[in-house]
Structure 1
Amino acid sequence: MKKKHFIYLFVGALLLTAIGCARLDVQNPNNPDTERVLARDNDLIGVTAGSFVSLYAPFGAYFINVNLEWTADYITMTNNVGGWWSEFKQEPRPQYNNTVANSNLSYNRVPYERWNAAISSANDVIRAIDVQGRRLSTGAQTEMVRAGAYFVRAMALGYLANTYNQAPIVSETADVTQRIEFSDYRAVLNAALVNFDTVIAICGRSTFTLAANFINTPIPYTSAQLRRLASTYAANFIAQNARTAAENAQTNWARVLAYTDNGMTQDYVITLDGINWNNGIQGIAGLSWYWRVDHRVIRLLDPTYPKRYPATGTLRQADSSLDARMQPSSRYFRYENDLSFFNPARGPQLRSHYRFARYDNLYNLPYPQPCTFLYAETNRLLRAEAQAMTGNLTGAISILNDPTGRRKAIGRLDDIPASATRDQVLDAIFKERELELMLTDFALHFKDNRRRDILQRGTVTMMPIPVTELNTLQLPVYTFGGAANAGRPGTASGARDWLNVLP
C-alpha cells in the first residue's frame, strides 16, 4: 500500500556519500558526468565500497538505535545525552518531539539520510551495469560488484522499512528531479526482498570474492557466504517488520522459513577501525556507568527479580543458579555496586546494578577489533520461530533443545518438553533472542518487543520521517508516541505492557 500524495525527494539526503568517496551530483539517470565518474573498474568498486560505509554509519552510539533500545527497556540509565531519558525512558512514555526545536534531531535524521545515501550510490552502480551495459574486466568481477550494490540497496531498504513508517523507493532508473512517492513500511520491505532475492540469485550462479574494501570482514566474503548472509538478513527483516502482535501473526512465516534453509552458519564479523567502521552501541556497553541492563532483561534469567529498582534501600544480586548466563564466568552481564551515576530525580526505579559484559573488549582494547554484527544463532532462532508459527512445534523444540546450541551449551537449561504450548515455545525463543543476539542488529530488541505488544503503553513503535525532510518537502509534520495516543498507528497500545500488564 502506498501513500497517495507525492513528494519531491530531498536530493541532499540521497547525495550524502561516505568518507573518502567522491561526491556524486546525480540529477538525472543519464547524466554524462556520472558516466565519466564511473568509467573505470576501480570507480565502480570504489562507489560500491563507499555505499557499504554509508549503510553501516548509523551503527554509531549516537543514533536512534540506542534510543529505541532504551525505550524497549533493554537498556536503562538516567543519562540524558541525545534525549535518551527525557524522550525515550520517562514513565509514562512521552510523545517523540519531531520538531526543529529538538536539539537531538540528528539521532533520527542521520540514519534516514545515510541509508538513502547508500541507496543512491548503489543505484549509480546498478544503473551503470544493468542499464548502461558497463562491464568490468571479468564476468566474475562484474557480478561481484552487482551483488555488492544490490546487497547494500536491500539492506538500506530493510532498515528504512523496519525503522520508519514510510520511505521513498528509488530505483536505478528513477529521475530524482521528478516526483517520487513515499511508500509505507510493508511496501518498502517488499522492495528490500526483491533486492535480496537478486543478491541470492547472483551468488547462486557466480563464484567470486568480495572486494576487500566492501565490508571490513577479517577475510573477504565469498559469493557463497554472501548468499547465506543475504538469506538470513532477508528472514530477519521479514520477521521484524510487524508493528503489533496482530501484524506479527500475519507475517509470511513460510517465507521466513524458506530463507533460513540456506541461511548463515557463521557469525557475521566486521573489523572495527574507529573511522569508517564502528559499532558504538556495543562498544560503549563496556563503559560501566554509561548505560546498564534493564531489569526486564535480568528477569529473563531470574523471574523473581523485581521489575523495577526500589525507591529506597538496596537490592540483592539476581539468582544465577537458574540460567548459567547470569554467572560472571559467562561474561554476558556483570554486577556493579556503584549506582552514583544515576539521577534519582529522573526515576529511582530506573537504576540497575547490571551492565553488559559481552563486548568489553570493544571498549577496553584499541582498534582494530572484531565485532559481531549478526550471530549465526540468529538464523537458528528465526528458523525455530518460523517453525512454531507454521505449526511445527516439534521442529522448533528440537532447535531449542539442541545440545550444541547456546541455550543448552552455555545456559545449561533443561529441555523444553514435547508437551509445551506454542506460547511457551515462542517465549523460550524470544528469551534466546534477547540474550544471544545482544545489541547486534539495528534496534533488534525494540523491533522484537513491538511485534509482541510488550512495549510500555505510549512507546513509539516506529519513527516518523525527520522534520527537516518534511519541511524541505513542504509536507505536514507528524510524530508518534505518548500515553495519550496509545493504540494509534505508531504508538504502543500497552495491551501486553511488560511493566504494567504482564505478571
Structure 2
Amino acid sequence: MKKIFFGLAVLFSLGSCESIGFDDPSTLTNAEAIEKIKSLGYVLTTSSVQTAFNTTTNNAGGSHFSLWADQSTNTNGSQSWWDFANEPRLRLNNNSAYRGNAAVREVYSNFYQSNLDATKVIDLIENQKLTIYDDKGADRTKDCLIGAYYAKGVSQGYLGAIFDRGLIVDDVNLKLKEFPNSYKELIENGIKHLDKTLQLIAETPNLNFDFLKGVTISKGDLVLLINSLSARILSSVARDKAEAENLGSPYWNRVLAYANKGFTTDYTITTTVGGYYNALVDVLERPYGTASYVPADIKIAYLADKTKKTPTAYPTNNSIILGPIESDDKRFYQYFTYTSNFGILLEARGRGLFSNYMRSRWMYPKLSTLNVAGAVNPYFLAEETRLLRAEAKYWLKDYDGAAAELNASTASRKQKGGLPDVIASASALRDAIHYEYAIEIDGAGGTFVPFSFMRRNDLLQGGTPTQFPIPQIQLELIGEPVYTFGGNESAGEKGKFGELGTARDNGWKPASK
C-alpha cells in the first residue's frame, strides 16, 4: 500500500488534527491516515493554501528576481545577493551547496509541496468519495475541494512562470520521474485549475475559505483574486518580446478578460500572530540604521529623475555621492527615501552597484518589519490589474485603449502622482508601464513581478537569466544532467523548448562588460 509522503510535517505542526497514537508517522499508509486522522483532508488543504499564499511573496526567490530586474541592489553575501546584483551578470550557480541556490530550491519545493497536498485532497474527495471534516467535526468537503483546486492552480501557474520545465502532478499514483512539461504547459494547467475553482465557487453559496491563518477570505474577494492571479500568471509566460508578440490576439484577449474581472481596489492582508505577512516587502524595506538592507536600485531614481541627470550605474569615483533627484511624480517622495548612507554596500564589491534610495512605502509605523500584529501587507494591488489591462491592449495594438487605462483619473500615476497623460504610441506606452511596475508595484507584486514584465518586453539587462532551472538536487535524484542559465557570455541562449533562457543585450541599459 502506498505511503503518504507529503504534508505530514505541516500536518503535525498545525495543531488541528486529532491524536493519532502511533510512533512513526512516516510509516503511516494513506488508508491508515484517513482512518486515524478524520481532519486529514482539512489539514492538508490548510497547509496547501498557506504554502501557496506564503510562497507567492516569499523573500527567498523574490528578492533575487528583484535584483535581476534592477529593482534592488546589494553587495551582501547573504543569500548570495551580490551574485544576483552583479554587473556584468553572472551565470546562475545551480549547485545545491551554493547559498544562492536556496532561492531556487525553496520556491520549487514549496510550490510542489502545495501542489502535492492539494492533489491528495482532490483524490480523497473526487476519487475516494470521502467526506472531509475539520477539527470540530464540521463537514468541509466543498470548501476543501475549492481550496485544493485554488492551491494547485496557483502553484502550477507560478512554477511555469518561474521555471523552464516541470512535472504536472494531478494524479496521486503518478510514477513518472522526468520533467516533460514545458513552462507553457504548467501555466495552462494551472489556469485550468483556477477556472475549475471559479466554477466550484459559483456552485457553493455558503463558502467558508478560512484556510489562511487569521483570515477568512470572502467569496467575492476570492473570485477577484483568482481572476487577478490568472491574468498575472498568463501574462508571464513569454520569455522575450518576440514570444509575447507571437502569442497572438486570442491569448492577450484571455489576459484582458481575466484582468477585467480582477481587483479594482487593493487587496491587503493584516498580519495576525503566526499568520501571513509579506516577507518580500519586509526584506526589501528593512532599514539598516539610516540606510537599507536591500536598497532600491539606481534604476528607480533614473526613471523618476525629471532632469535626466541620474546615471544608469553609480559613479565609481568614491568622492562622488549623488544628491536627491527631482521628480514630477509625487509618489516618489512617499514611496522612497533619500539617504547618503551607503549602509552595508561594499565599495570593494563594485561601487557601480551603489544607491541612495531606500523604500519607505509599506513599513508599519515605527516598526522594522511587517511580521507584527496589525501591519498591513499588500497582496495584490488594483494598479497591477490596471497595468495588465493596459498591457494586454498594448499587445493587441489598441494603443488608445491602453493609454486610456493609464490616463484615467483613478489611475495611481494620475490620482497620486500628478503625472501628465501618456501618448498613445507603442514606445511611450511600454515606457509608462515599465515605470509603473518599477514605482507603483515594486515589491508589492510578489515573487516575480515586475521581473516578468521586463522579461517579456526585452528590458532585462543582458546576460540575466530569464528563468530558474530545476534545482540540482532534484535533477540528480532522477539522473538528469544539471543545467542553468545566465551570464554575459551566454546572452541569447535558448532553453529546452526554444525559449530565450538568457537575456540578450537589448535591455533597459547596456550590459556591463
- TM-score for both structures, normalised by structure 1: 0.88
Tell me the residue number matched to 2:152: 153
Q: Which amino acid aligns with 2:504?
A: G
Tell me the residue number matched to 1:378: 384
Q: 1:82 to 1:57 in 2, by over 3 A?
A: same
Counterpart-to-counterpart distance in 2, 1:271 and 1:37 = 35
Tell me the residue number matched to 1:492: 502
Q: Assess if the C-alpha contact under 8 Å between 1:456 and 1:492 holds in 2.
A: no
Residue 206 of structure 1 pairs with residue 211 of structure 2: no
2:220 aligned residue (221, 224, 231): 224
Secondary structure of the corresponding residue to residue 110 of structure 1: helix
Residue 20 of structure 1 pairs with residue 14 of structure 2: yes
Tell me the residue number matched to 1:459: 464
Counterpart-to-counterpart distance in 1, 2:268 and 2:229 = 14
Counterpart-to-counterpart distance in 1, 2:125 and 2:493 = 44
Deviation readout 1:446-465 (Å, 9 max, x if unpaired): 22211122212211111111
Secondary structure of the corresponding residue to residue 444 of structure 1: coil
Residue 354 of structure 1 pairs with residue 357 of structure 2: yes
Identity of aligned residues (%): 27
Tell me the residue number matched to 1:286: 286
Secondary structure of the corresponding residue to residue 418 of structure 2: coil
Cα RMSD, aligned residues only: 2.8
Residue 239 of structure 1 pairs with residue 235 of structure 2: yes
Q: Which moved more, 1:119-128 or 1:260-269?
A: 260-269
Q: 1:278 to 1:238 in 2, by over 3 A?
A: same
Tell me the residue number matched to 1:480: 485
Tell me the residue number matched to 1:73: 70
Tell me the residue number matched to 1:339: 342
Secondary structure of the corresponding residue to residue 404 of structure 1: coil
Q: Assess if the C-alpha contact under 8 Å between 2:330 and 2:417 holds in 1.
A: yes
Q: Which amino acid aligns with 1:429?
A: I
**Offset of 1:373 from its aligned partner?**
1.5
Tell me the residue number matched to 2:90: 94
Q: Which moved more, 1:137-146 or 1:119-128?
A: 137-146
Q: Assess if the C-alpha contact under 8 Å between 1:242 and 1:451 holds in 2.
A: yes
**Offset of 1:196 from its aligned partner?**
0.8
Tell me the residue number matched to 1:426: 430
Q: Assess if the C-alpha contact under 8 Å between 1:14 and 1:113 holds in 2.
A: no
Q: Which amino acid aligns with 2:286?
A: G
Q: Which moved more, 1:128-137 or 1:43-52?
A: 128-137
**Offset of 1:242 from its aligned partner?**
1.1
Deviation readout 1:187-213 (Å, 9 max, x if unpaired): 10011010010011112232234343x
Tell me the residue number matched to 1:131: 127
Count of paired positions: 479
5+ residue gaps, structure 1, are: 1-10
Q: Which moved more, 1:474-483 or 1:132-141?
A: 132-141
Q: Assess if the C-alpha contact under 8 Å between 1:53 and 1:276 holds in 2.
A: no
Q: Which amino acid aligns with 1:35?
A: I
Counterpart-to-counterpart distance in 1, 2:452 and 2:25 = 34
Matches within 5 A, 1:47-66: 47-58=44-55, 63-66=60-63
Tell me the residue number matched to 2:449: 444
Q: Assess if the C-alpha contact under 8 Å between 1:375 and 1:437 holds in 2.
A: yes
Tell me the residue number matched to 2:408: 402
Q: 1:340 to 1:47 in 2, by over 3 A?
A: closer
- TM-score for both structures, normalised by structure 2: 0.86
5+ residue gaps, structure 2, are: 18-23, 496-500
Q: Which moved more, 1:317-326 or 1:388-397?
A: 317-326
Deviation readout 1:356-410 (Å, 9 max, x if unpaired): 1112216257711221111122111111111222132222222111112211011
Q: Assess if the C-alpha contact under 8 Å between 1:15 and 1:120 holds in 2.
A: no
**Offset of 1:154 from its aligned partner?**
0.5
